[in-house]
Amino acid sequence: MSRKNSNARYEGKTNFRLLGKKLGMTQIFTESGDVIPVTALQVGPCVVIQKKTESKEGYSAVQLGFADRKAQNVTKPQAGHFKAANTTAKRFVREFRMDPTTLNEFEVGQVLGAELLKVGDSIDVAGVSIGKGFAGVMKRHNFAGKDAAHGTHEFFIHGGSIGNRSIPGRVFKNKKMPGHMGAEEVTVQNLTVAGVDPAQNIVLVKGAVPGSKNGYITLKASEKGNFEKRSFKVAPAAAAEEAKAE
């Protein structure tokens, strides 16, 4: 794709992105008494660290930061990068591509949080799954294993043959075999927001989210479900209150 059309794939999409971390799972009750398992997420505060434009960097993107870290634990170039955004050093930083129109709604130093979400929104959540270490084929790929009959010896949980002899003389790529399981980025799609607490930046979503407690997650508008497009611009009243606080 040429540099001129590098943002074409992002035009017309709902470019909604936020950062956060997984707090754990709990349950809520509906008015009818039904129990709904939910995952509690801390969404924000996310600081806009940088805006990348097509005229300068060759593409449009916004860089968000989440979770403070000690200033002495970052390099001098990183410290200068955060200082330019007038914010503290961040532990979790991610960059998201988007069309120039949506990018104009962001301001460097702007703080985003759970107030941008509402109950009923459909979102996709990505996180790093819990590592399981070295696992066999039964646990890793759900193999059935060998029949545990009287004539079977030392072959109950083996994966079986992995190929022929001289033809093809090799093991094909992506062959399901034992190996490291978990500790990889996983996205769960079309989760429904069940509750929002803007004051504490807490969001409850129906179902499970990948990762362990306090694991960092990225959140975006669902690719499959319904997500009403909304603006990232700070309302004049909110901007005035932030100015007074400073």
Burial annotation 41-54 (CB, 10 A radius, 16+ → b, else e): bbbbbbbbbbbbee
Which domains, from first to last, does the chain contain? 8-131+184-245 (2.40.30.10), 132-181 (no CATH)
Q: What is the mean pLDDT of residues 64-70?
A: 92
Single out the residue of 192, 176, 181, 67 nearest to residue 129, CA to CA.
181
Reply yes or no on whether the pLDDT at 12 is more than 90: no
Which residue carries 């998201």 as its tokens?
96
> Model's pTM, two decimal places?
0.80
- What is the distance between the alpha carbons of residues 55 and 149, in angstroms, rounded to a whole number? 69
Query: 7 pLDDT band (50/70/90 cuts)?
Result: low
Ranges 30-39, 60-69, 231-240: which has the least confidence: 231-240
State how beta strands 61-68 and 90-97 pair: antiparallel
Reply yes or no on whether the pLDDT at 110 is more than 70: yes
Reply yes or no on whether the pLDDT at 85 is more than 80: yes
pLDDT-above-70 percentage for the chain: 89
pLDDT of amino acid 163: 87
Query: 15 pLDDT band (50/70/90 cuts)?
Result: confident
pLDDT in tens, 212-245: 999 999 999 888 878 888 777 754 334 434 444 5
Residue at 170: amino acid letter: R
pLDDT in tens, 111-142: 999 988 999 899 999 999 999 999 999 999 99
Q: What is the mean pLDDT of residues 209-213?
A: 93
pLDDT of amino acid 237: 37
